[in-house]
Structure 1
Amino acid sequence: MSLSLIAFVIFALTGIGLSVWLRQKASTELAPQVPQRNAEQLGKLHWREFAKLLLQAMHARGYKPVNEDGLPADGIPTDGSDMLLERHDERTLLSCKYGTLAVVDSSALLVLPQSAKLRGAEHILVVTPGRFEDSAVKFAREQNIELIDGETLWPEVRPYVPQPDAPIPPPVAQTPAVPHKSLAVAWLGAAVAGLLVWGIGMMGTPADSTPNDMPPPAPQVAQQQVAQKQAAQKVEVAAAAAAVPSDAAELETRRRETANAISTLFGVSRALWSTQSTLLVYLSSETTDPISDICPLLERYPELASSRIQLQPPAGSQKPVRFKQCRTY
């Protein structure tokens, strides 16, 4: 078998193998994934989604939101503040301590009795998708505050979490589409493999031998590798750009929802965007550092992941202002 024929066979087999692998990968990605339904799902919801589930669970208990001035029609505050509920002519203050993997201590409950008194509430209910520390449980027992953690809340909200749709298998004749750039890179790699085999074979051929079928001059391997790298980089850039919405209203909604969710974290008094790229977080305590809860909320959106975070200490504190960044550019 001639050297040119061997190189062609290597080229064909490599190209076909890579093409088949790409199609199998595309089929796997197209297969619908059924999301898990458990208590951990609560910590991954947006603030308003979590609040809606919570109000539905409270409605099943017989509570209804109190219509206060400035509240939206659904009774959910836009700033993530405490909600006022009513049942049998008795009012209850509902405080939601929301955050990824939230662990609530007693400091997050200290102001609730006074707040309930000012708003005319006889009872206090504190809910978190995470858990409560022993200090919070002890304080709640002394102040007659009801605590509901994620494991306790899940059975109550589970009926209101939509069931995942059953996966619909694709038609037998359907062939998943593979991006043309991916196929081009695959066959380019096959060409490089064939050229390497041919080049190695030519190095072992005596100088005075004259092959019967000399192949045409091939481009250098280094140039082929550069072309591969450039094509792969273009695919990565296109994928990253597609993840960020182009609609300005949707971008602003993401920013507002993220700031509202961060405002409900324990240790945080409020959060707002001071500039397009700087999130100003007012801390309510010198001893807490909510950055581990803030970063997961920012990293849900690519355009917010690298935002600068300004941690403002409480009024009268001697500690300096700190700046953090969850992800670099």
Structure 2
Amino acid sequence: MLPVLIALFVFVLLGLGLTHWLRQSHAARQPAEMRARSAEQLSKLRWRDFAKLVLQAMHGRGFHPVVEDGLPSDGIPTDGSDILLERDGELTLLSCKYGSASVVGAAALLGLAKSATLRGTERVIVVTPGRFDEEAARIAQQQGIELIDGESLWPEVRPYVAYPAGEAASQAPETARIESKRLALAWGGAAVAGFLAWMLATSLVPVNDTADMPPPSPKAASATSKPSAAKADPDSIIPTDPAALEQRRRETANAIATLFGVSRAIWSTQSTLLVYLSSEDADPINELCPLLERYPELASSRVQLQPPAGSSKPVRFKQCRTY
């Protein structure tokens, strides 16, 4: 009876703990697909409307537009040029790279550092509703330019964007479905932990009602000892510590980065792995999936296969295992 009570206690305690943690982190864990759709909505705005949203986000950071001679009262140039911001007496150059292209390359960043120096600013921020390619990110790091892509920008401008009623209603069932699956996964992990606790308690608690029974034969003793010797694979248990979860994600990305045809792999979001390919013909998905499926919390992650810079092939999305 005692092993059963111990297992039940572990199951309930761990299940409630994981449920609490999932609900606490729900606000900060927006699905990658929803953020991608939101970034796409930003790209459909006119440049001036987009710039207004960006200025509202910058206002949340403490920046204010500097109204120069010949500019409208809101500080947004009519010709789409860069915007001058001020915070605590320091000037910042804001550049909104907005156009038909969804990927901003290194060419768009050339000359920004010199322009910032001529206008007396101490830093540069470049914002786009799309994303920046690898070469642009490298140049920005060298020149100390802060890059904000569509997915990173969306949480900052979301309070200033009103969803149409129909769209908001359509997103609610999808969010509820994802949360239900995560809760089911959490309680499944709690059930595994409870089973392991029962096995451990069973092997440690002495059984008193078998004192009058004859000793089992060697074959029977060997047969009954096999279940207690079995050990569960630790990788199949989802850790409750966020640091341990992040360690698994980091180790998996590092392992995938060593595969043939892969130049590097990074987690762009908690559920999306961005894999940069070193050649157009590379297709590492067969070697990549076993590394993700090793951990149950990563098995259903979305994989974004990014072709090399300058390639004409489109970005591909894969998923090793569905929910």
**TM above 0.5, one fold?**
no
Say which one has the larger Rg.
1
Could you say which structure has the greater relative contact order, defined with CA pairs below 8 angstroms and 6 or more residues apart? 1
TM-score (norm 1): 0.39
- Of Structure 1 and Structure 2, the greater helix share is in 2
TM-score (norm 2): 0.40
